[in-house]
Amino acid sequence: MKRKGHLFFSTFLGIIAGITLTLGLGAYQVVSAAPNYAQLDVFTKVLHFVQTNYVEEVDSKKLIEGAIKGMLATLDPHTVYLPAEQFKEMQVDTSGKFGGLGIEISINEGYLTVVTPIEDTPAFTAGVEPGDKILIIEDKAKKIKKETKGMTLQEAVNLMRGEKGTKVTIHIARKGADKLLPIEIKRDIIKVVAIKGGMIEPDYAWLRITNFQANTGRDLRKKIEQLSKENGKPLQGAVLDLRANPGGLLEEAVNVSGLFLDKQLPVVSTMGRNKAKKEVEFARGENPYKNFRLVVLVNEASASASEIVAGALQDHKRAIIVGKPTFGKGSVQTVIDLENQAGLKLTVARYYTPSGKSIQSKGIVPDIEVDRLDTALIDKARKGKYLREADLEGHLINELGEASNKEDSSEDPTKVTKGEKGDKEDKDKRPIREKDGKKVRVDDPKEFIKTDFQLQQALSYLKAWNIFEAVSDQARAVKSASAK
């Protein structure tokens, strides 16, 4: 147990122990409370009256745990009490393998809300989308059907998790839908691959971080080295895709940032109740990839650790941030082991970017905002282009015999090709293929960039950055030569 956690709970558990002793004596006594805990005498009275006068026998442990949960429910949604079973489950979440549906959830305006489905999980392939509000959780096999209003995050997680192969139905409210949508999902072992990537075209790579789990920084470096070998020379640039990344381990956010920042540059700072006590995390690596350009893609479901990375790279002018404003989860949680094998996830501070900007509820604002658009509609709109010389009947051929840039207009612009129809219902623009009877995403960036408008724009900005940098270098060289 960490010393900080132990010191925090020594006083609290002492109070609980005092209450237990009083109840054990079978006689009501007023607990002598410190000034900061003056209301505890009211709590002990209520607890005593319930235990001795309620119409049925009550479980004291259940009452105490319920009181703790109620106390924490008055704070932010990320501060929760974790009973022993839930605490054990939480400890394996960051290992990259756990059971369930594959949904990252939060509480937004009182509603259980999907931050993002984790890529290539049961929830992802079933069509759960960021922003969906889960109003009812139903497990027909266990004859459970509960509304989620007032439910804690951990209670919801406990209901949705279960043995591999069993089913659960979530009833969601989705923007644009006129009624609740029931989605039945078969539970599975969730194995999260944190790093994906590939070459978009020569010299330019797509690097995808799905979440920040153990060894994410190390695995990202391996992926970059692999792609550099595939390219035959060092990369000129990369798109770092953090869209729908729910976050994870702070240490790995620092490790990832350190791949692109000089050693000892600040990555993130945290500040708790004591404003005079500010802790700063610095880049620890040697910045092995300082020589290639970086564009970071984010969206409304990029949260926590992904916001730390985007904020650090933005503040240090190391990357251009493209996409939509991020989720805004800028609070720090520490997990404390309790003596009863339970745990407490407690919000202890806020995150700040190197320039001192708070991430909480604001998120990271992109340098260039790009909406997620339907590329099929964009292509259709492009058909209505201006008339050019090459479009005129009988136009002169270029004297060098070069072919004109006339586009083939024989294709019916109203025709919807396979895959475009699905784009209107599927926010993830990567192509879907069948594999072993399951829907899977195609992770070859050469393929899905054709329909991913945000990635198309990110690549354009990346290449333009290199072009302008080359022009600037030439201008500086000319100026230096003329000065001599």
Q: Please give the Cα distance from 445 to 430 (Å, whole number).
A: 9
Task: Name the β-bridge partners of 182.
Answer: 171
User: Where do we find the tokens 């839908």?
Assistant: 177
Q: Which of 324, 329, 345, 429 is catalytic?
A: 329
Q: Which of 241, 315, 423, 452 is catalytic?
A: 315
CB neighbours of residue 113 within 10 Å: 19
361 catalytic? Reply is: no
Which residues neighbour 164 within 8 Å (Cβ) at sequence distance 6 or greater?
99, 187, 188, 189
Q: Which of 304, 345, 429, 452 is catalytic?
A: 304
Please give the DSSP secondary-structure letter assigned to residue 309. Answer: H
Residue 137, SS3?
A: strand
Q: Please give the Cα distance from 473 to 468 (Å, whole number).
A: 9
Q: Please give the Cα distance from 188 to 97 (Å, whole number).
A: 10
143 catalytic? Reply is: no
User: Where do we find the tokens 């540059």?
Assistant: 265
Which residues neighbour 114 within 8 Å (Cβ) at sequence distance 6 or greater?
103, 104, 105, 128, 129, 130, 131, 132, 133, 134, 172
329 catalytic? Reply is: yes
User: Where do we find the tokens 């022009």?
Assistant: 471
Please give the DSSP secondary-structure letter assigned to residue 212. Answer: B
Contact at 8 Å (CB) between 346 and 4? no
- Residue ranges of alpha helices (H) inside 203-265 are 216-231, 250-258
Q: Which residues are catalytic?
A: 304, 315, 329
